[in-house]
Amino acid sequence: MRLRDPQLNAARRAAILEAAANCFVRQGFHATSMKDVCAEAKMSPGTLYHYFRSKADIIAGIIEDERRMADELVRPLAAAPDFAAALFEAVDVLAGSVTDRDLVLHAEISAELLRQPQLRERAAAADRQSRDTLAAAIAEAQRASSVDRRLNADHTAAILFALIDGHLWNATLHGAAALAPRLPALKQAIARILADPE
């Protein structure tokens, strides 16, 4: 009984996640067989199951990766000097970097999330945390009077997420390329939601 090799372990797990994501994007979660993942990752089923408990466990790993990236997009907003400008910047970065692959994988994951109560609860908690981060940034901007002070910061954060998420879902249907032409209208809507109307 040798000791576990953390280097190898991390490398194999990453390779399996990458191979599985490729398969899931091509054929979807449930149409992808473990044999497909094994072929893509070039290893036997026994080896794969040495690193992941189950097919669902692989999905969980992909979700975790995605959650980390989403967090990195929202966090900088809290410290931004000009909230609206920082939000526009984040929207541009998101729209510019998101691919059809990302969108399909995200949809696949979202459906799977709902089925696994544990994963779903973690996703809901992550969503609440992102919203809290955004709400705090909005409240700060309200103190600096760059956002209408009468708005409820928490509700407004939810509105903004809904608006941006809705755009991403729409792009899932029409392709990532459909995102860019809508950006000016999206920013205009955000500006109207946030601005003091008088």
- Judged by the rule CB under 8 A, the positions of this chain that interact with a copy of itself are 27-31, 104, 107-108, 110-115, 120, 123-124, 127, 152, 155-156, 158-159, 161-167, 169-170, 172-174, 182, 184-186, 189, 192-193, 195, 197
Q: Which of residues 31-50 bind DNA (CB under 7 A)?
A: 32-36, 43-47, 49-50
HSE, CB side, 13 Å, CA atoms: give it for residue 187: 16
Min dist. Cβ of residue 186 to a copy of itself (A): 7
Q: Collect contacts of 18-21 with beta carbons under 8 A, ≥24 apart.
A: 20/58, 20/62, 21/62, 21/105
DSSP state of 3: P
Residue 107: which of a copy of itself, DNA, none does it interact with, CB under 5 to 8 A by kind?
Answer: a copy of itself
- Please say which residue, 51 or 83, places its beta carbon nearer to DNA: 51
The enclosing H or E element of 124 equals helix 117-143
- Residue 124 Cβ vs a copy of itself, minimum distance, rounded to whole Å: 5
Does residue 110 sit in helix, strand or coil? helix
Select 44 or 54, whichever has its Cβ closest to a copy of itself: 54
Q: Based on the number of CB atoms within 10 Å of its own CB, is 104 exposed (0-12), middle (13-18) or buried (19 or more)?
A: middle
The C-alpha atoms of residue 28 and residue 152 are separated, in whole angstroms, by 40
Q: What residue type is 124 in one-letter code?
A: A
# chain residues binding DNA, by CB under 7 A: 25
Q: Which is nearer to a copy of itself, 43 or 123 (CB)?
A: 123
* Residue 174 C-beta: closest distance to a copy of itself, Å: 6
10 binds, among DNA, a copy of itself, none (CB under 5 to 8 A by kind): none
In the complex with a copy of itself, which residue's Cβ is closer, 41 or 151?
Answer: 151
Which residues make Cβ contacts (< 8 Å) with residue 157, sequence separation at least 6? 131, 132, 134, 135, 138
Q: Which residues bind DNA (CB under 7 A)?
A: 1-5, 8-9, 12, 32-36, 43-47, 49-51, 53-56
